[in-house]
Structure 1
Amino acid sequence: MNIQSLAIIEDDEKVRNYLTEQIQAYTNIPQVLSFSDGEAALSALTKNAVDIAMFDVQLPGIDGIECTKRLKMVHPRMQIMMLTVYDDTETIFSALKAGASSYMLKSTPPEKIIEAIAELHSGGSPISSQIARKVIEAFTVKEKVNEYFQELSRREQEMLELLSKGFRYKEIADKLFLSVETVRTHIRNVYEKLQVNCRIEALKKTGLL
């Protein structure tokens, strides 16, 4: 593994220290940096690029996706891996669009993360299997739907997709790390945009049923 420098950007101290220990123990990377927030990472890595930066999505201040976008503008050759708990399609696509080449879940075993780091450095784009399935499902859904669906925001589309699979509001809230009230608000907005009064009508109008 011919990687000279790697940065871990993670606000959870235990996770950050654990990742640092694993990488130092099982790789020969000479320089492993760590940061607890986006601002500090952005400031340091803008001045001195690393080969690979591993970002959590949710960070104090500037989030990992925004950091990725800014760093790729300055250092387009820097490889970015998102290492997060978020598996919703909106976050996944936002990260990839910002410039991340890898998207891994924190539930991934450490040895697989080490493998993903090596694969990323060698030109691959490693992503967790659950994330790969989400990406494939997102494209599959888009082939079925119509212009009404396309006019909705990505978050609203995701809500409808989950409704079409039989998920209840509470389950959707848990899955997307939102409150039930936020889910209700999104669904209400969807109904207004589509000019429908219920789930069945919304799914029929958008081609999901």
Structure 2
Amino acid sequence: MKVLIVDDDALIRDSLKIILELEDSFEVVGVAANGQEALNICSQKNVELVLMDIRMPVLDGVQATKEIKSRFNSIKVVILTTFMDDEYIKEALKNGAEGYILKSQSSDSIIESLKMVMMGNVVFEKDVVDTLKTIINKEKQKQELNFDLTNREMEIMKLVGEGLSNKEIAAKLFLSEGTARNYVTNLLEKLDLRDRTQLAIFYLKNIE
């Protein structure tokens, strides 16, 4: 897994690089001090995952995430920050980040989160999920919404919202992995959503 580390604190960049390179499954292909440097590296190297801080000079992590996801669709972005600001969380996820985790997590937990994202899951730390639910509840409309989804589609969406992969959904619902994948694809098309991250957010916002 080829990783780009983006943080304006050199000590944190170096520490994360050491931690990740202790794992055989990670290869740190670059480090950047801001979002603009990250964009430049993504255009020059084969980056699979970006570990992104939020508050940085020149170009912050929220805008950098938006630019990376629009230019390099296959690159996954995980926000790693100390900030639990409501707007940061909303904007980062809206811009396509596959995860939002905090620097207070242990190194083992951070590594596990990155592995989960590369397996196709979305990863939100519990505190982030709680904050996101609070934000969403404030915005949620009172009337019941009808999205014309079948019971099975609702089940699939709920499990995506809980962070399960297609393989895990298939096992839980006694489906083939291909069938689970087709359900997710159909949900994205029906709800006009881009990816699993948006589907998970849609579930949290409108259904859960």
Identify the match of residue 37 of structure 1 among 34, 41, 47: 34
In structure 2, how many angstroms separate the alpha carbons of the residues matched to 1:36 and 1:118? 23
Question: How many angstroms does 1:9 deviate by?
Answer: 0.3
Quote how far apart the aligned CAs of 1:26 are: 2.7
For 1:33-112, list aligned pairs within 5 A: 33-112=30-109
Alpha-carbon distance between aligned partners in 1 of 2:30 and 2:45, rounded to the nearest angstrom = 11
The match for 1:142 is 139
How many residues align? The count is 143
Q: CA deviation at 1:128?
A: 1.1
Q: 2: CA distance between counterparts of 1:145 and 1:105?
A: 32
> Do the aligned residues in 2 keep the contact of 1:6 with 1:29 (CA within 8 Å)?
yes
Is there any run of 5+ residues in structure 1 with no aligned partner, and where? 147-209
In structure 1, what is the equivalent of residue 119 of structure 2?
A: 122
TM-score, normalised relative to structure 1: 0.64
1:21 offset after TM fit, Å? 0.5
RMSD: 1.8
> Structure 1: how far apart are the matches of 2:44 and 2:12?
25
Identity of aligned residues (%): 24
Contact 2:5 2:28 in 1 (8 A): no
Q: Measure how far apart 1:136 and its partner are.
A: 1.3
Q: Any idea what the Cα deviations from partners look like across 1:152-171, whole Å, max 9, x if unmatched? A: xxxxxxxxxxxxxxxxxxxx
* Residue deviations 1:59-89 (CA, integer Å, cap 9, x gap): 1111111111111111111100000111121
Q: Distance in 2 between matches of 1:49 and 1:136?
A: 35
Distance 2:57 2:46 in 1: 21
Question: Counterpart of 1:88 in structure 2: which amino acid?
Answer: D
Indicate the SS of the match to 2:58: coil
| Runs of 5+ consecutive residues of structure 2 not aligned to the other structure | 144-208
In the TM superposition, what are the counterparts of 1:114-193 in structure 2 within 5 Å? Answer: 114-143=111-140
Q: Work out which of the two has the higher radius of gyration on C-alpha atoms and give 1 or 2.
A: 1
Offset from partner CA, 1:89-141 (integer Å, 9 cap, x none) = 11101001111110011111110000000000001111111001011122223
Amino acid corresponding to residue 36 of structure 1 in structure 2? A
Pairwise CA distance, 1:23: 0.5
Q: Counterpart of 1:108 in 2: which secondary structure?
A: coil
Q: What is the SS of the residue equivalent to 1:44?
A: helix
Instruction: Return the alpha-carbon distance in structure 2 between the equivalents of residues 144 and 41 of structure 1.
Output: 38
Contact map agreement 2:7 2:32 (CA 8 A) in 1: yes
- Determine if the alignment matches structure 1 residue 17 to structure 2 residue 14: yes
**Quick one: distance in 2 between partners of 1:79 and 1:95?**
12
